Amino acid sequence: MSSSPPVSSAAAAGLNLAQQEAVNYLHGPCLVLAGAGSGKTRVITHKIGRLIQTGLKPEQIAAITFTNKAAAEMRERAKSLIGKQARGVLICTFHALGVRMLRQDGAALGLKPQFSILDSDDVTSILKDAGGSTDAATVRNWQWTISRWKGMGLNAAQAEGQVNGDEERVIARIMAQYEERLSAYQSVDFDDLIGLPLKLLQEHEAVRSKWQAALGHVLVDEYQDTNATQYEVLKLLVGERGRFTAVGDDDQSIYGWRGATLDNLKKLPQDFPKLKVVKLEQNYRSTSAILRAANNVIGPNPKLYPKTLFSELGEGEPVRVLDCDSEEHEAERVVARIQSLRAEGSLLAEGGQYREWKDFCVLYRANHMAKPFEKAFRKANIPYKVSGGQSFFDRAEIKDLCSWMVLLVNNDNNPAFIRSIKTPKRGIGHTTLGALSLFADTYKLSLFESLFSNSLNSVLPAKAVGSLHEFGRYLNELEQRAKKTVGAEEARVFLADWLKEIDYEKHLYAGEESEKVAAARWSNVMDFCDWMAQRCGGQIADASGAVVEKETKTMLEVVQTIALLSTISEREGEQNVVTLSTLHASKGLEWPHVVLAGCNEGLLPFKLEDDDGANSDSIALRLQEERRLMYVGITRAQRTLAVNWLRRRKKGRDMIPGVPSRFIAEMALDKTTIKEDPREKIKALRAEFAKKSADSLAAAAAFKHR
């Protein structure tokens, strides 16, 4: 089989010359600099197909992304391109790859295959215990610092060796206790899903050789978002052969605050001298007017690999800059803009609406900026969603129930054990749990295994042991009942009985000062139970109310998937609503009509002057990242873009004079675009529509009397 594919095959797939070059370079390290909207996912999926076509088995290919959503999209795109073979390709996040490596080879580090993965709340709880603090802000600071150190590849001992001041020294010592507890609990946190695989590859040659032999080519999406640890994992996975494709854009690196570093782009040509660099500069998303503003904004940033986006979609509408009196006035103008564009769409479509609510998006720098828009949208009856809001499964009451479910299928999950035994409270306090934990550590047992040890009476009073035994017996009984519960109706009975037995509704109302809040939380519990029951199958009602038959599962079979679930709305289709989103959450997405809100100094760029301890170099780096954030916002827009700034804005409880963001000037727009009043545009459109209607009626009347 030919090692070099015919260019015509890639051309026939609709790839441009640069995309073809990226797809066809197969036998060495390749960096694809993919500008915004330049078709990077298309290149990755076509390259997967090309690798298989030239003889590589699907299971020898790994494509690594940063979010589950991106992985799911790539999986679907690969499936539509290469069919069933796509199933064999490992398409996952860095963290999911880490889980796979640790499940297979974690024994080399002392991990059991059924180790538990802690979420943020679990980590907070352990750190509170390890550091002896209940102050949430303090513990969050510890958590962020420890996460940052782990992202840099440091353990507690290494961190203590390079701390900056007494506060960090204390955190390093808390980190050491935290590491001990994770080991005792047979648990890992999200940072460990990168750090421990790195340790595996660095310290165990047999494991490293196994993974290098298993992976014939590794593709990494959003490469600019990798941190130092992820880069080292990639290097060790691909070895000296360097068969990988890194796809990214230095102009869209906006996650420096969580450890992502552009140094990884600088290191590639140093560590892989034969690196092939391909630039994708043709944008398939935005008009020329929008791209010109984007290119102008990003221009002042220093370039690792200079590139200029271009489009063949035409000049399009000019970018509009709107000055607003206040946050409330800005929200009113955005409502007017959306209404005018929809009215204009109706006219252009000869009465048929083709601009839907979902075509519009409002982007802003910080979450708190959504509030005025929510109020204005509600007043105008505009449907909307706030992107990046709290996930259903992140709610405390749902995490409580999930911990019980997880414990049914993995009795050795210590964090789930601790949350379940404490929620609702059952007279088993911190002293008892502390002694049980120490006992479990001493005898290398899980907390659940320790419950039934004959030696437990030697460290705990009989009453405490009796309470622990009661909990253990109830959990075993619940597991047996879950095995025999089949179908939706039986599942509903099982769940209702369980909640009554543990008195969870009473627990919710006792823990909330407001009955309204407690009732809302109980409503979430009911939604969760209904959703779980639906998954058990049998005769259930679909969205229209019709009864359908689905394959039945036992309650325990459904529970076994609970740890993999992240949203209750998986059965919901795409919503036809306006999106409100932070700029960070918008990366990778696009909308026909975008508004960038609150583009003021102090918001975007964000408070550069407030960091007293920062030197000029660090301020310059932060400004460069803020400029990239503006660039990301501009390049989300397909057809129209409006950029707003405030003449007066809130700072705390005060109103202060607003200064337009320096990025507006950097966009170098035609000055005639600076002033626009969408309310006047609506009036003009209504007048035009009325004239068209009158003309139509007159024509109809004239025809009737002919």
In angstroms, the CA 208 to CA 4 distance is 29
How many CB atoms neighbour CB 161 within 10 A?
9
Burial class (CB in 10 A: 0-12, 13-18, 19+), 124: middle
The residues assigned a catalytic role are 40-41, 221-222, 252, 636
Using CA atoms of 508, 510, 514, 515 in order, give the dihedral in degrees to the nearest 10.
Answer: 70
Quote helix, strand, coil % in the chain, to nearest 5.
Answer: 60, 15, 30
Contacts of 460 (CB under 8 A, 6+ apart): 432, 435, 436, 439, 468
Number of alpha carbons in the 13 Å side-chain half-sphere of residue 25: 23
Residue carrying structure tokens 């990003």: 298
Helix/strand/coil for 657:
strand
Contacts of 116 (CB under 8 A, 6+ apart): 185, 186, 187, 188, 410, 412, 413, 414, 415, 416
> Residue 591 has which token pair?
């909308």
What are the φ/ψ torsions at residue 20 (nearest 5 degrees)? -60, -45
- Do residues 6 and 27 lie in contact, with contact meaning Cβ atoms separated by under 8 Å? no
Print the SS3 string covering 166-211.
HHHHHHHHHHHHHHHHHHHHCEECCCHHHHHHHHHHHHCHHHHHHH
- Do residues 593 and 361 lie in contact, with contact meaning Cβ atoms separated by under 8 Å? yes
| Closest alpha carbon to 44 in 57, 67, 62, 28 | 62
CA distances (Å), origin 553, targets 479, 488, 540, 596: 15, 9, 13, 48
Residue carrying structure tokens 């690999």: 305
In angstroms, the CA 217 to CA 178 distance is 36
Distance of CA 171 to the CA centre of its chain: 27
Residue carrying structure tokens 């992820």: 230
| Closest alpha carbon to 628 in 586, 668, 594 | 586
